[in-house]
Amino acid sequence: MNPTESSTPTLKRRMACWLYEGMLLFGVVFIAGYLFGTLSQTRNAMDNRHGLQAFLFLVFGIYFVWFWSKGQTLAMKTWHIRVVNLEGQALTQQRALLRYVLSWVWILPPLAVIWPLGLTGGETSVLFLGWVAVWAVLSRFQRDGQFWHDVWAGTRLVNSLPMSR
């Protein structure tokens, strides 16, 4: 692996990639939601919403495990970021699955607070965005600048050189 490829991307680039990934996931949610609604004959969005949430959790899992075991999602390719194990090799599907489960730390803590308190949309947004900012900044306290869920999963985000033509 090239020394440039082994360095950690900047927090700014990783967060830009994170936002872009969210935009791409909108399409995944749309198609998966349409498929779920059609197959389950759900007529109202609030009917069977827990089933839809479980289905989306599985769809996201398949999406991320598949692409991370190949090294990159589309957003990661765009921002020239790869995910590798600690030896710099591609992730196994088991390691990618572990990373997927641990990456829910971006979402679950604010959800755990929002649900019992019954917060409004604005309060939910502030809490969620605040947690994302805190979680992202916590990577600064990790020796290699990696996100903590990557440390726990035994994975790393590294720079990936663009392919020359």
Displacement of CA 115 from its chain's centroid (Å): 21
| Percent of residues, the chain, with pLDDT higher than 70 | 94
Predicted structure pTM score: 0.87
pLDDT at residue 5 in the model: 58
DSSP letter at 125 equals: H
pLDDT band at 10 (very low <50, low <70, confident <90, very high): very high
* Contact status, residue 30 vs residue 82, Cβ threshold 8 Å: no
CA-atom Rg of the chain in angstroms: 17
Mean pLDDT of all residues in 140-163: 91
Query: pLDDT confidence of 115, banded at 50, 70, 90?
Result: confident
Q: Which residue has the higher pLDDT, 6 or 147?
A: 147
pLDDT above 90 (res 57): yes
Please give the Cα distance from 126 to 142 (Å, whole number).
25
Tell me how many degrees the CA angle 53-58-61 measures, rounded to the nearest 5.
Answer: 125
| Cβ-contact 65, 97 below 8 angstroms | yes
* Tokens representing residue 108 in the block: 């679950």
Give the pLDDT of residue 128. 92
Contact predicate 99/148, CB 8 Å? no
Q: Fill in the amino acid letter for 88.
A: G
φ, ψ for residue 145 (rounded to 5)? 75, 15
pLDDT digits (tens, 9 = 90+) for 133-145: 999 999 999 989 9
* pLDDT at position 161: 79
Q: What is the pLDDT of residue 118?
A: 83
Report the mean per-residue pLDDT for the chain: 91
* φ, ψ (nearest 5 deg) of residue 162: -65, 150
For residue 2, is pLDDT > 60?
no
